[in-house]
Amino acid sequence: MPSPPVAKTVPRVQVLHGDRLEDPYHWLREKGSPDVVAYLTAENAYTDAVMKGTEAIQESLYAEMLGRIKEDDQTVPFRRGEWLYYSRTEKGRQYPIYCRQRAESAPEQVTLDVNGLAEGHPFCSIGPSAVSDDGDLLAYTVDFSGFREFTLHVKDLRTGALLGERIGKVASVAWSARPDTLFYVTEDHAKRAYRLWRHRLGASADDLLYEETDELFRLHVSRTRSRAFVLASSRSFTSAETRYLPASDPGGPWRVIQPREADHEYDVDHGVGPGGGLFYIRTNGDGFRNFRLVTAPVDQPSRARWTELIAHREDVMLEDVDVFACHYVVHERAEGLIRLRVTELASGEAHHVEFPEPAYDVSSEFNPEADVRAYRFRYQSMITPPSVFDYDLVERRLTLLKRTEVLGGYDPSRYRVERRQATAGDGTAVPISLVAPAGAALDGTSPLLLAGYGAYGLPYPVTFSSSRLSLLERGLVVAIAHVRGGGEKGKRWHDAGRMLNKRNTFTDFIAAADHLVAAGHTSRDRLVIEGGSAGGLLIGAVLNRRPDLAAAAVLRVPFVDVINTMLDEELPLTVGEFEEWGNPKIREHYEAMKSYCPYTNIADRRYPAILVKTSINDSQVMYWEPAKYVARMRARRTDDTPLLLKVNMEAGHGGASGRYDALKELALDYAWILGRLGRAGEARPQDATRRPERRSKIS
C-alpha cells in the first residue's frame, strides 16, 4: 500500500461556552492556496494509487451500467398552450436536448441543447427556467461551476437568438402574463435567495419589489397553475409567508395571504372558478403539524376566511396538493408510503389511488395545465423502473405512457422487495425498505449496503436504479433505513430527529443495522453503510458511536464539521438552518451538537474502511469539511484500514454533471464497496435473448 498524505497542523483555538475548540486543519478552508491544492491533489493521487488494482472492475461496472441505459431516449411530452414539450438524449452526448412540437407529427423545434451550452466547460447545469405565456420566449438559467450560481438568459424561440439579458445569482424566475415582463429572485453573498425583482425586456435597470431581511427566510417566485397569479413565497424551516399579484398586472401592488407566524408553514395554489376562484392552502398552523387543506377567497384570503376541506390527521401527512379546473389531487403519506387522494370539486366526492407494492415512490410529473381530465404522475419501486402514468380523474383509469427501458433482459422476478421494521431503544418502530436477490439466504452470509439520510423532513425515496443491479447481481442486499429527522411519518417524525432530538437519527440507524444483522440479512463483516450530505453527517456520527457497526462506510459530500460550519454565518445555508440543527452560540444547542458532530468526536480508536467523496465547488457542504474530517481521522485512528478521499476538482454538490461522467464516478464507488466485501467478480449473467414483459403490479 502507498503511504497516505499527512496534512500539516496549524494551531487554532476558539473558546465557546467555556470549551476550547481546537481546529488544527482550519487552514484547509483557504481555497486555491498552493498548500490546499497540493494536499487535495495528494489525496486524489493516494486514492488513485489504492484503487489502481480496480481499473478492470471499474470498467466492467461502467460497461454494465451503461449497457442497461437506452442512450437514445425521450421523455413523455406534456402540453402547455399550443405546444408539446419534451427532452431527449442522444448516444454519446452527456446532456439532454430540450424540444417542443406543435403536434406529434409537426417538425421538432429545439428550445435548448445543453450539449452546445456545455462546450468548453467541464461542468454544466440548467437551473430554473420558464416559457412566456405566448410560447415565444424562454427564460433559463445556467451554472458552469457546480457552485449553483445561476445566470439568467432569455432566448427568442422564434429566431433562436439570445436577447441581451445577463442577470447573475438568480434563484427562481416567473413570467407575468405579459411577454415583456418577468420576475426573478436573486441571492446574497451567502447564497440566500432574498430579493424579488421585476424586469422588463431590454430595460437597463430593474425594479426591486421586495427584500427578505430575516436571514432565516428564503424567497421564491412562481406562477400558479391557473396562470392567474404570481406568488412570492418567503419560507424558513418552520414558517412561511406568501404574497400574490395578478399575473395580468405586473406593475400592480402585492398582497399578503397570511402574515408569517412562528411554527406556521403554508403553501398556496389557485383554483379557477366563478368570481376569480379560490386559493387552496396547505397549512400546519395552530399545532396541526401534519397539515390540513383549506380554501380562501382571492379578495380576502387571510385565516379568518378559511374553509376547511381536509382536516388534520395525526397518522397521515398531507404532503402536496395539485389543483385543477374540476378536481384537486392530494399526496398523502401514511406509514411512510404515498397514496393519491382525488376530489371532485363540484360534488366534494373523494377517492384514493393506492399502490400494492410493499415499498415504492410516487411523485407528480409536470402538470402545467389546469383544465385537464388526466393527472400525470411517476411511479417506481426498487424493482419497478420509473413509470409515467396518466390517471383519468373522471373514469378512474390508469394508462401507462412510458416505462423506462432497462436493456439486457431485466427480469424483476430475480429480486424481492421487503418492508421491515426495527425497534429503536425508546421503542419507536423504524421502517426499512429492502431489495435483495430472490434467492438471498437469511443466514448472515449476504453482503448488504445500508443507506440513510434523516434530515429536513425529507423522506428517503424508494426508487429504482438500473445501476444498482450491478450490486444485486453480485449478491448484495440493498436497504434504506427511514430514520427520524426525515419525513416518512410526517412532521412529528421530522421534529423527533432535528435540533435537540438529533441523536434519534443516529440511534434509529444503528437499530436498523442491528435488526438486519439479527434477522440474518447480513453480518457485521458483510455490512457497508452509506449516506450523502446530511446523510454523511448521519454516517459520520454513527461511526463515532459504533465503529464496530459495519465493515466499511461511504460518505458522499458529508456535512461532518457541524459546529464550525454553524458558527460561520457567512457561509451558504448556515443561518437558515439554525431551525434544523440549532445555533451553537446558544449553549443548549452547542451541547447537543458537541455530542454528535462527526469531526469533533473523532477519537483514538479503530474505525472501519472509509471512502469520502467531495467536490471543490460544492456550495452546500464546502469541500473543506470532508477534507478536514479525513485529515483528523487519519491522525487519530489507531488502525491502518483504508481511508480514502476523492475530490472532484470540477464539480459541485451533486458531482459530475454529465451522465457518462456520473456513471464513472459511481463505478469507482461500487468497485470500492465490492472490493471491501470480496464481491468484485463478474455479475451473474442475464439472458439477453429473453426479454420478459417488464412487469409492475400496477398496469
Catalytic positions are: 533, 618, 653
d(CA 169, CA 443): 54
d(CA 242, CA 259): 8
81 φ/ψ sector (left φ>0, alpha ψ -120 to 50, else beta): left
Q: Which H or E run contains 100?
A: strand 97-101
d(CA 426, CA 679): 36
d(CA 473, CA 32): 42
First to last CA, the chain: 53
Q: How many CB atoms lie within 10 A of CB 641?
A: 13
The DSSP line for 445-466 is -S-EEEEE---TTPPPP----T
> In Å, how far from its chain's centre is CA 121?
24
d(CA 624, CA 155): 38
CB 188 within 8 A of CB 213: no
CB 674 within 8 A of CB 655: no
CB 36 within 8 A of CB 28: yes
d(CA 212, CA 280): 24
How far, in Å, are 70, 165, 320, 504, 585 from residue 588 at the CA level? 53, 48, 34, 17, 9
d(CA 575, CA 662): 31
Do the bridges between strand 397-403 and strand 240-246 make them parallel or antiparallel, or are there none, so unpaired?
unpaired
- Gyration radius from the chain CA atoms: 25
| Residues in the chain, total | 699
Dihedral sign for Cα 170, 173, 176, 180, please.
positive
CB 312 within 8 A of CB 288: yes
E strand residue ranges, 102-187? 109-113, 125-131, 137-143, 151-156, 170-175, 181-187
The DSSP line for 591-606 is HHHHHH-TTTT--SS-
Percent helix, strand and coil across the chain, each to the nearest 5? 20, 35, 45
Q: How many CB atoms lie within 10 A of CB 439?
A: 10
Amino acid at 547: P
Cβ-based burial of 103 (10 A; exposed 0-12, middle 13-18, buried ≥19): exposed
Strand partners, 433: 419, 480
Listed residue (555, 446, 562, 450) closest to 498, CA to CA:
562
CB 357 within 8 A of CB 312: no
